[in-house]
């Protein structure tokens, strides 16, 4: 079992990975760009744990223990003791490659580098390092603490040992790992994007309202969340980014983003993170009832 893990980036996904690992008894060192961002991340994780206490999903003692395993830093140098470091920054090639190059310089050669990308090339990121055999993808789904799945993605040079250790880490934090050989969109992103895009076209074309589209899929096909609410929770800007990446990589029209999606992103209606997307949300991310 890995006793300590590093995490780079404390956005929603990064915080979820931090919370999941700390909750499983693993010490976590996460890195952000400033002390202010570190404090914001700790406050956000604390708020999530407090919410779990309110709903009787956690005790105050468990919350204290989880927080005691989490340490925030602002320098990659402070990640040196971690045998595995997970990059969880924005899914942007330029940013991720910059992070990987910097981590490769700082970390010991035996350390495993993990990227949490949902659509970028593991092989291409590994090529920015001197350890391509120790680079692997681990695609966590949101919200990380509540989603029991992680995609473990092999790059061209990822070793069997690296994949094995990534799967062991997934099991240690109570996730089921599926092994994926690198291909644009992997499994989950590749399959879900056409559904989200088609749901947006149905709304744009006036066939049905957003609420009725989601009701159709939750009641008609037993989906736990409708496709449009799911898109809101992922972040409409993220959905657009993924679709553009897959459309660029594959040239398949099913990944051409719906014009309504582009319009909403341009308007700043990004979903839960802004309080408004296809639906409206309160400050805790709960969907508001339609008036």
pLDDT at 286: 87
What pTM does this model have?
0.91
Same domain, 219 and 107: no
Same domain, 40 and 177: yes
Same domain, 133 and 199: no
Same domain, 192 and 243: yes
pLDDT at 265: 98
Last residue of a domain, one of 181, 201, 217: 181
DSSP calls for 28-75: EEEE-SSHHHHHHHHHHHHHHHHHHHHTTSS-HHHHHHHHHTEEEES-
Order of strands across the sheet with 149-154? Answer: 70-73, 27-31, 4-8, 84-87, 112-115, 135-140, 149-154, 176-181
Does residue 89 contact residue 96 with C-beta atoms inside 8 Å?
yes
Same domain, 225 and 270: yes
Structure tokens at 18: 């931090």
Domain of 149, CATH number, reads 3.40.50.720
Of 123, 246, 96, the residue nearest 185 (C-alpha): 246
Same domain, 57 and 159: yes
Range of the domain at 129: 4-181
pLDDT at 72: 98
Does residue 271 contact residue 258 with C-beta atoms inside 8 Å?
no
Residue 119 lies in a domain: yes
Same domain, 90 and 35: yes
Longest dimension (CA), the chain: 58
In angstroms, the first-to-last Cα distance of the chain is 51
Does residue 167 contact residue 179 with C-beta atoms inside 8 Å?
yes
Does residue 92 contact residue 114 with C-beta atoms inside 8 Å?
no
Which residues in 106-128 are b (16+ Cβ under 10 Å) and which e? ebeeebbbbbbbbbbbbbebbeb
- Tens digit of pLDDT at every position of the chain (291 positions): 899 999 999 999 999 999 999 999 999 999 999 999 999 999 999 999 999 999 999 999 999 999 999 999 999 999 999 999 999 998 889 999 999 999 999 999 999 999 999 888 999 999 999 999 999 999 999 889 999 999 999 999 999 999 999 999 999 999 999 999 999 999 999 999 999 999 999 999 999 999 999 999 999 999 999 999 999 999 999 999 999 999 999 999 999 999 999 999 999 999 999 999 999 999 888 899 876
Residue 168 has φ and ψ, to the nearest 5°, of -65, -40
Residue 11 lies in a domain: yes
pLDDT at 128: 95
Domain of 250, CATH number, reads 1.10.1040.10
Number of domains in the chain: 2
| Inter-helix orientation angle 12-23/60-68, to 10° | 110
SS3 readout for 103-168 = HHHHCCCCCEEEECCCCCCHHHHHCCCCCHHHEEEEEECCCHHHCCEEEEEECCCCCHHHHHHHHH
pLDDT at 291: 60
Last residue of a domain, one of 142, 162, 181: 181
pLDDT at 119: 84
Same domain, 200 and 126: no
Same domain, 228 and 194: yes
Residue 289 lies in a domain: no
- Given CA atoms 95, 237, 124, 248 in this order, what sign does their dihedral have? negative
Last residue of a domain, one of 147, 181, 215: 181
Does residue 269 contact residue 276 with C-beta atoms inside 8 Å?
yes
Same domain, 145 and 204: no
């Amino acid at each position: 079992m890995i006793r300590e893990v590093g995490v780079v980036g404390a956005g929603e996904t990064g915080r979820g990975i931090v919370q999941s690992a700390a909750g499983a008894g693993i010490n976590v060192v996460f890195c952000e760009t400033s002390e202010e961002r570190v404090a914001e991340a700790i406050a956000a994780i604390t708020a999530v744990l407090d919410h779990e206490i309110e709903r009787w999903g956690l005790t105050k003692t468990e919350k204290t223990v989880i927080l005691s395993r989490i340490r925030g830093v602002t320098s990659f140098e402070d990640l040196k003791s971690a045998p595995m470091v997970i990059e969880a920054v924005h899914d942007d090639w330029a940013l991720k490659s910059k992070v990987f190059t910097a981590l490769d310089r700082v970390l010991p050669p035996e350390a495993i580098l993990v990227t949490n990308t949902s659509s970028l090339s593991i092989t291409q990121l590994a090529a920015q390092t001197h350890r391509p055999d120790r680079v692997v993808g681990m695609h966590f789904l949101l919200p990380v603490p509540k989603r029991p799945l992680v995609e473990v993605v092999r790059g061209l040079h990822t070793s069997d040992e690296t994949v094995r250790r990534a799967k062991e880490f997934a099991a240690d934090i109570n996730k089921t790992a599926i092994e994926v050989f690198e291909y644009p969109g992997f499994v989950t992103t590749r399959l879900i994007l056409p559904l989200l895009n088609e749901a947006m076209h149905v709304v744009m074309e006036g066939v049905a309202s957003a609420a009725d589209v989601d009701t159709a899929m939750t009641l008609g096909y037993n989906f736990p969340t409708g496709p449009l609410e799911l898109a809101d929770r992922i972040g409409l800007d993220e959905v657009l980014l993924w679709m553009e990446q897959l459309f660029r990589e594959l040239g398949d029209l099913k990944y051409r983003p719906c014009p309504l999606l582009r319009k909403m992103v341009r308007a700043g209606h990004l979903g839960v993170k802004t309080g408004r997307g296809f639906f409206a949300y309160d400050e805790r991310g709960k969907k508001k009832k339609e008036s």
